[in-house]
Amino acid sequence: MTKVKEIIAALNILSDKNSFEVYLPLLKRNVKFRPLTTKQQKYFYECLKDNVVFNTKFIIATFNIIKENCVELDLVDKITVIDRLFILLAYRKNTLGNTFQIEKDGVIYNANLDDCLKQAEEITLPQNKLVAVKNVQVELHVPVVVDQYGLEKELRETLEIETFEVNQLVGTVVVNEICKAIKEIWLIENDTATPVGFNGLKYADRIDIIENLPAEVMFDLQEFVGDINVIANKVLTVVTESGEVGFDITADFFLDE
């Protein structure tokens, strides 16, 4: 067993040596990540059967990869969902090369990951925003991967495939996105703002609170989430001879064609 541990230790040292850099918009600098191991590549195969709406297994797998491979461990709690996109694009480039194909309306387009990655230095992440309505104050931030992972792990990791009504599904997706965007909620009484300790609550409880927020505050929340999604969609868009084409990052993005 000692021999096994020695070899794995030697491989970890090698992994550090072969780490590559990813520019993160959050920190406006490069951060090093170790290359994918075979075990981590296996995670993607396990994601081939996944929740198609929420990509639960894929989100859990990619969070684990980021957490295991980020050389600066203390950064993991701060990495945003936008940074995550650049990290995943960089991993794809590191494992399968710079070029990839997108299919849209039956047409296949060739694209370069470098075109997506160079956007990292041009993006400015939205500042935190305070929204106050009546006796409620909500602080919004760009969602972090810790919450994206935590939500899926708590609410859907063990879920069997269910059938949803479309409008019910849309509502669930919207509330989930808002949940990730909320950093803190204060209740204001007699000019005193009391935090509810949103970040310390279970995700199911956070959603209960959101569903009881005044309707007026929801519009501002949805607008903020919409701004984040615009940035994310821009990152995952390439310019082709037919115009702009968007793509998704799912498990098969990382599997050999």
| Residues of the shown chain interacting with another protein in the complex, contacts defined by CB under 8 A | 1, 3-4, 6-8, 10-15, 17-18, 35-42, 95, 256
Nearer to another protein, 14 or 159 (CB): 14
How far apart (Å, rounded) are the C-alpha atoms in residues 180 and 112? 30
Cβ of residue 96: shortest distance to another protein, in angstroms?
A: 9
The per-residue b/e assignment along 162-198, b for 16 or more CB within 10 angstroms, e otherwise, is eeeeeeeeeeeeeebbbbbbbbbbbeeeeeeeeeeeb
Please tell me whether residue 182 adopts helix, strand or coil conformation: strand
Nearer to another protein, 43 or 149 (CB): 43
Cβ of residue 92: shortest distance to another protein, in angstroms?
A: 12
Hey, CA dihedral for 148, 151, 154, 155, is it positive or negative? negative
Please tell me whether residue 154 adopts helix, strand or coil conformation: helix
Nearer to another protein, 8 or 130 (CB): 8
How far apart (Å, rounded) are the C-alpha atoms in residues 186 and 138? 6
Nearer to another protein, 19 or 240 (CB): 19
